[in-house]
Structure formats: structure tokens, C-alpha cells
Amino acid sequence: MGEGTVRVDVDKAVAVITVSRPARLNALDIDMLKALSSACDEVEANPAVRAAILTGEGKAFSAGGDIKAWGGMQANEFGHAWVRFGHRVFERLATLRIPLVAALNGHALGGGLELAGTADIRIAEEQIKIGLPETGLGMIPGWSGTQRLVKRFGAQVVRRMVLGGEMFTAEEARALGIVDAVVATGDAMEAARAYADRIAGRGPAALEISKLMIASANGEDNGTAVEALGSILVAKTADLKEGVVAFSEKRPAKFKGEW
């Protein structure tokens, strides 16, 4: 088992998900990925939560995937147990039913930037650096760095980080659209909380549906978004209620086409 953890703290309508492995700059291993997945389940199961904040403990947001965790894996294990599992966890974060705000309290590198990329809003402290350095290790960004980040940040920005190994300051990242706001060192959580409170004051159903529609328009898993929207709509109809009752009473349903 790894020495890290992921904490979930709920205050009123806002949940804070904290990646806590400060001794390794919040680098992710398998146990941390599992803990992130469990954190998503916990947050979504709480009907009182209307917004969430994702942050790191200590001086880093996340240094990405821990090389010690994957460096010795055989190719098959690396592809399935590491890359594909990480994909599923990050997709879980990116598709939370509630808006997610990333408080970038420190550097977000490699998988750490891919982690930040799952958020809907990113607020960065002025001292941080952002980049995708994987090709310098002979590796590629494996947790949607060349997929989700291209959709959210733009292909040319990702090319500069992946192909050229460029690192961006917080202000450069803001100008490029990677982060939405830059605040003073130590202020990311306060700013993220203020933004999350702002979100939480808006209509929860409208937020959830708007998030799905925006993701669909951006080419992010259109099929899932369309099916989720359709299911939500049908679940509110009188026809569905009649169908369920008819099934339990073992009789033909009497649909009226009522919405």
C-alpha cells in the first residue's frame, strides 16, 4: 500500500477533495488512484453537495504519476493496470455530476496537469509551473494529455508542452487558457472556495444538465452525454412511472404521452 491518501471534507454544499501525499509532491500511485475513484463515489452519493474543489496538500498540486509506481511494470501491466485504470479514474472526475474547481496550490506536471484538466474551472497560484514533461522520459502523456487536454486547452498549446517540453508560468497558462484565474501564493483555496460557493448558489439541475451539454459540444464523450440527458428527461415523465407500476402489477402499461 502507498503512504498517501485522498481526503474528502464537506462543508455545507461544497466538497473538498485533497490529494495528500506531500512527501512525494502528491505523485499518484495505484492506491492513490483507487482513493480518487472512491472520493468521486463519496461526493456524488451526497445529495447536499453542489460543487467540489480538487487540490493537493503541501507545496505541490501533483507531480503526476509516480515513476516508482510504474517504472518497473511490464508492458501489458503498464497498459492495463496503470494507463487504462488511470483513464477510468480521470474520466470519473471529469464527468462528476457537479462542477469541479481545481485549486492549483503548486506545480501541476504530467499526470498532475492531466488531473487538473478534469476540472471545469482552474485557479492557480502565481508561483506555480505547468507542463507535460513525459516525452523527456521517453514516455507519452497517458491520462488524456493528448486527448482531453487538446479539447480543453487547444492542440497547439499541448504541442508546445508535449513536443517542445515547454513549461508555463501561471500567468502564461492563464493567457493560453489553461487556467482561468491567477491568485497570490497561498490564496488558491480561498479563491476556489469563493468560486465553488458561487456555483453552489445556482440551480443544481441546470448546472448538471449544462455541464453535460457543454461537454457534448466540446466533443467529450458525446454518446454518454446524450444518453444521460435523455435518461434524465424520461425519468421525469408520467409514462415511465406508469411503465414501472404496470410491470410490478403484471399488466399492460397505459401510456398517455404525458411529460
Q: Provide the residue type at 76 as one letter.
A: N
Domain ranges for the chain: 5-200, 204-248
Residue 131: which of 64, 184, 68 has the closest Cα? 64
Residue 159: what are its φ and ψ, rounded to 5°? -55, -45
Q: Which CATH superfamily is domain 5-200 in?
A: 2-enoyl-CoA Hydratase; Chain A, domain 1 (3.90.226.10)
Count of Cβ atoms closer than 10 Å to residue 185 Cβ: 12
The two most distant CA atoms of the chain are separated, in Å, by: 66
Q: Which is catalytic among the residues 3, 57, 91, 114?
A: 114
pTM metric for this prediction = 0.89
The predicted structure's pLDDT at residue 222: 64
Cross-sheet strand order for the sheet of 5-11: 5-11, 14-20, 51-56, 100-104, 121-125, 181-183
Q: Which is catalytic among the residues 57, 125, 134, 220?
A: 134
Digit-by-digit pLDDT tens for the chain (259 residues) are: 346 799 999 999 999 999 999 999 998 888 999 999 999 999 999 999 999 999 999 999 999 887 676 667 677 777 676 778 888 899 999 999 999 999 999 999 999 999 999 999 999 999 999 999 999 988 888 888 889 999 999 999 999 999 999 999 999 999 999 999 999 999 999 999 999 999 999 999 999 999 998 998 898 876 667 777 777 778 778 877 878 888 888 889 888 877 6
The verdict on whether 134 is a catalytic residue reads yes
Extract the C-alpha cell encoding 130.
505547468
Q: Check: CB of residue 130 under 8 Å from CB of residue 149.
A: no
Residue 97: which of 212, 8, 16, 203 has the closest Cα? 212
* 216 φψ region: left (φ > 0), alpha (ψ -120 to 50), beta (else): alpha
The whole-angstrom separation of Cα 20 and Cα 62 is: 9
The verdict on whether 114 is a catalytic residue reads yes
